[in-house]
Amino acid sequence: MVYNEINSKAVSSLSKFGLSAAILTTLLAIITFGMAVSTPPLSGPLCTVEGFTYPYLDIASRFPRDYLWMYPAILLSICTLILIIAVHQVTPGGKKHFSLVSVHIATISSLILILTYFVQISVIQPALLAGESDGISILSQYNPHGLFIVMEEAGFSLLILSLLFLAPVFSKPTGLERIIRWSFILGFIFALFAFVLISLFYGINREYRFEIAVITIAWIELIVSGVGLVIFFNDYQSV
């Protein structure tokens, strides 16, 4: 009786933990996606107005407008990692090696993305205002083949890979688990296809084309799977 009561409390706690993480992840993905879409590119191949050019030192006027989306993006990286940990906690023992791999890869992804955004927010603008322009060009988000773009590509590619490792966890033939599973699988397939296609057309001069593609795929994947996981954790207590 005591064991059953403890187990029931543990299940309830896990359910609430996962549900909260899924709701926050979904909402932050929608908010971040919306804010990023409303921030058009002001340099590079997709820029449709007179934008910024190398060495990207005249960007002070765009702060904080073009950086606001990075704040929810940082929170999204943290919440996504927490959500993946929550999934790991409820994964059956025979499949925990998949979810554990997912947690480790997601940790690397979150670290890359959080540091990337924090540098933009806390280094670029203060350095420009202080007249310290050395190294800014390679770090600036406006550089279509700079470090910011590459770090985002790496961070979101790893995120999509980490979600792929969660696909075997949701193996039941139910409609809900099928949707969650295929959102993870299709996200990886689309990202891989985008990388191959863009690389074939542009080679090493892909600039931020793949970055935009992989971010879009990752955020849509988080929204779709996030809604599914909200339902999953809401029902978990009654399983």
Summarised one tens digit per residue, pLDDT across range 67-92 is 899 999 999 999 999 999 999 999 98
DSSP one-letter code for 135:
T
Range of the domain at 22: 2-236
pLDDT in tens, 146-183: 999 999 999 999 999 999 999 999 998 889 999 999 99
More confident call, 58 vs 231: 231
State the Cα–Cα distance between residues 91 and 180, nearest whole angstrom.
14
Q: What is the dihedral of CA 46, 50, 52, 54, to 10 degrees?
A: 90
Q: How many domains does the chain have?
A: 1
Model confidence at 3: pLDDT above 60: no
Q: What pLDDT, on a 0 to 100 scale, did the predictor assign at position 2?
A: 31
Model confidence at 210: pLDDT above 90: yes
Q: What pLDDT, on a 0 to 100 scale, did the predictor assign at position 6?
A: 40
Average pLDDT, stretch 114-122? 93
Q: What pLDDT, on a 0 to 100 scale, did the predictor assign at position 71?
A: 95
Burial of 31 (0-12, 13-18, 19+ CB in 10 A): middle
- Output the average pLDDT for the chain: 89
> Could you give the angle at the alpha carbon of 185 between the alpha carbons of 175 and 21, nearest 5°?
70
Nearest to 169 by CA among 95, 85, 61: 95
Model confidence at 237: pLDDT above 70: no
Q: What pLDDT, on a 0 to 100 scale, did the predictor assign at position 228?
A: 96
pLDDT in tens, 19-57: 999 999 999 999 999 998 888 778 878 777 777 888 777
State the Cα–Cα distance between residues 227 and 22, nearest whole angstrom.
7
Full-model pTM? 0.91
Provide the percentage of residues in the chain whose pLDDT is more than 90. 62
